[in-house]
Amino acid sequence: MKQTIGLCIILLIAIALTLGIGVRDVTLMDMLQAFIAFDPTNPVHVVIHSVRTPRLVAALVAGAGLGMAGTVIQSLTRNPLADPGILGVNSGAAFAVVVGALLTGRSDSGWMSAMAFPGAALAAISVFMLGGGARGQAGPVRLALAGTALNALLLSLVSAIVLARNETLEIFRFWVTGSLAQADVRPLAGMSVTAAIGAALALLLAPRIEALSLGSALARGLGTKPARIQFGALLAVTLMTGSAVAVAGPIAFLGLLVPPLARRVAGHALRRELLASAVIGASILLYADTAGRLILAPSEIRVGIMTALIGAPMFIFIARRLRPGAST
């Protein structure tokens, strides 16, 4: 209970900082009045409603979605170094954005978000099929290898397109690093619903995913059908990660950072881990975004860069702990 209260307080502080800190700082009273008694002639109220609230919603969707998706994929693959990127989600989204911009000539943020989600979804489905999911043979190693292969292929294709067509270079450069700066033009309502459906599916499947993590043979003995659970889990991951990519772009390492922290807080019950992951993921992304806006104010460091600065050392730390003979 104390840990739950602590996580909620941390998240509430992160929300207050996101709404209160910017080019012009606002007080807690201003925030409350902006929501309770909105005045369209008050520039502070307009900024909170039009700029900071969409940024907050995008961070909540992306942070919670990536946190939960990371927990699901680590449980599914039994790999503490796995994150949603292992399914080729980020590279699939990047490929769809670049190809869509090339074919249509459009480069606005809303259009790129609309292209990113189906690209991420198709990449995840392809990984499942390549990993033997259609034949009920998708094990952790097969999924990881299929994801690595698809990532390499899609990123190679993206590089080839970008090098061949200069007009796509600026689009790719702008989109490839996650950012919350243009959240007001992202499809927040639709992606919030999509992420919520993915989260509900993950929570529903949590006991069966736990059974599957014991091994396919034992899971079958417990009455679980591995292929169906794997497909359902990957569908949940795709819905949550695709929504995150659509509203914030590819956020590096968040799906890797959150699961170990959630396990420390919630133990090894997957449903509790998932709920903790949602809160921790949203909190980390909000704090990273706030820090990125403060360090070089009035400019900002994109939140995808901030999470990478935190996540890369954590990845190395986890990898070293997994080495044979390393100290624990």
In a domain, 132, yes or no: no
pLDDT score of 117: 77
The residue among 197 and 30 whose pLDDT is bigger is 197
pLDDT score of 160: 79
In a domain, 198, yes or no: yes
266-324: per-residue pLDDT in tens?
A: 887 889 999 999 999 999 999 998 888 888 777 788 888 888 887 777 767 766 665 54
C-alpha span between 218 and 224 (Å, rounded) = 9
325: pLDDT strictly greater than 90: no
Average pLDDT over the chain reads: 79
Banded pLDDT at 214 (limits 50, 70, 90)? low
150: pLDDT strictly greater than 80: yes
165-183: average pLDDT: 70
Question: What range defines the domain where residue 65 resides?
Answer: 2-84+178-321
73-92: average pLDDT: 76
265: pLDDT strictly greater than 90: no
109-129: per-residue pLDDT in tens?
A: 667 777 777 887 788 778 777
Farthest CA pair distance, the chain: 65
CB atoms under 10 Å from CB of 44, counted, come to: 16
In a domain, 72, yes or no: yes
Token couple for 3: 């840990």
Maximum average pLDDT range among 53-62, 68-77, 135-144:
53-62
pLDDT score of 202: 94
33-51: average pLDDT: 83
In a domain, 244, yes or no: yes
The residue among 58 and 157 whose pLDDT is bigger is 58
- What is the CATH classification number for the domain harbouring 63? 1.10.3470.10
Please count the structural domains in the chain.
1
DSSP 201-245: HHHHHHHHHHHHTT-HHHHHHTT--HHHHHHHHHHHHHHHHHHHH
In a domain, 42, yes or no: yes
Q: Is residue 107 within 8 Å of residue 171, measured between CB atoms? A: yes
Q: Residue type at 187? A: P
CB atoms under 10 Å from CB of 8, counted, come to: 12
In a domain, 53, yes or no: yes
Banded pLDDT at 326 (limits 50, 70, 90)? very low
The residue among 258 and 250 whose pLDDT is bigger is 258
Token couple for 121: 């979804």
Residues 6+ apart with CB under 8 A from 90: 84, 120, 151, 245, 250
14: pLDDT strictly greater than 80: yes
Range with the lowest mean pLDDT among 55-64, 175-184, 214-223? 214-223
The residue among 99 and 321 whose pLDDT is bigger is 99
C-alpha span between 256 and 179 (Å, rounded) = 18
In a domain, 153, yes or no: no
Location of structure tokens 């606005």: 108
20-35: per-residue pLDDT in tens?
A: 887 777 778 878 888 8
Would you say the C-alpha torsion 78, 79, 85, 86 has a positive or negative sign? negative
Read off the pTM: 0.84
Range with the lowest mean pLDDT among 95-104, 132-141, 201-210, 243-252? 132-141
Residues 6+ apart with CB under 8 A from 65: 195, 198, 199, 240, 241, 243, 244, 281
In a domain, 201, yes or no: yes
